[in-house]
Amino acid sequence: MQSARLALRVPLMTACTFDDFYRAHHADAVRWAVALVGSLAVAEELAHDSLEAVRPRLTSLDNPAAYLRRVVVNRARSWHRWHVRERRRVLRVTAGQPTSYTQPTSEVLDALASLPYRQRAAVTLRFWADWTDEQIADALGCAPASVRVLVHRGIAALRADLKETVE
């Protein structure tokens, strides 16, 4: 009975044929993954990872192609679960935040983005986060007097920039 069962088995593949297996099945794995996740970029990554998961077991599998199909399906399912959790996290984090800004707010944010980093940080921390000069100085690694200079110069640059956009 045991020998009859062995005679029906597909010949075992050797480890050196993995490159051939990869070339022969990569396009199919990508096609299946695209159908499952809807994104070519994600599908290519899932297909590659799935093929790599087959590599260590290739010589011991009776039907490596069937195993590859199962791995692709399982990885696509895991990707969907991760993707749903990630969307929920993003929704929780962004709940209550505006999805777009008014024109004046956008102009201020653009002007703020044009400031040098230390001025932008000082102005933002002072007026948005309501930090003291000492707290800002500690965060930026400078003296409180330097913070006052940074805020003064940042506000002057914002006024000039915003005045240009109004005119």
From 94, 112, 141, the end of a domain falls on 94
Are 63 and 44 contained in the same domain? Answer: yes
Domain CATH for 109? 1.10.10.10
Question: pLDDT by residue for the chain (167 residues), tens digit each?
Answer: 454 444 444 444 544 588 899 999 999 999 999 999 889 999 999 999 999 999 999 888 889 999 999 999 999 999 999 988 988 888 888 777 766 778 788 888 888 888 999 998 999 889 888 899 999 999 999 999 999 999 999 999 999 988 877 66
Give the pTM: 0.51
pLDDT of residue 75: 94
pLDDT of residue 6: 45
Cα separation, 20 vs 34, in Å, equals 22
Are 87 and 133 contained in the same domain? Answer: no
DSSP letter string, 29-86: HHHHHHHHHS-HHHHHHHHHHHHHHHGGGGGG-S-HHHHHHHHHHHHHHHHHHHHHHH
Are 107 and 90 contained in the same domain? Answer: no
From 39, 61, 94, the end of a domain falls on 94
pLDDT of residue 45: 96
68, 54 Cβ separation under 8 angstroms:
yes
Are 16 and 67 contained in the same domain? Answer: yes
Are 124 and 81 contained in the same domain? Answer: no
Instruction: Please state the domain count of the chain.
Output: 2
pLDDT of residue 99: 67
Are 135 and 159 contained in the same domain? Answer: yes
Give the distance, in angstroms, between the CA of residue 119 and the centroid of all CA atoms in the same chain.
Answer: 30
Parent domain of 40: 2-94
Domain CATH for 53? 1.10.1740
Residue 49's nearest CA partner among 30, 21, 24 is 30
Are 32 and 81 contained in the same domain? Answer: yes
Q: pLDDT tens digits for 69-101?
A: 999 999 999 999 998 898 888 888 877 776 677
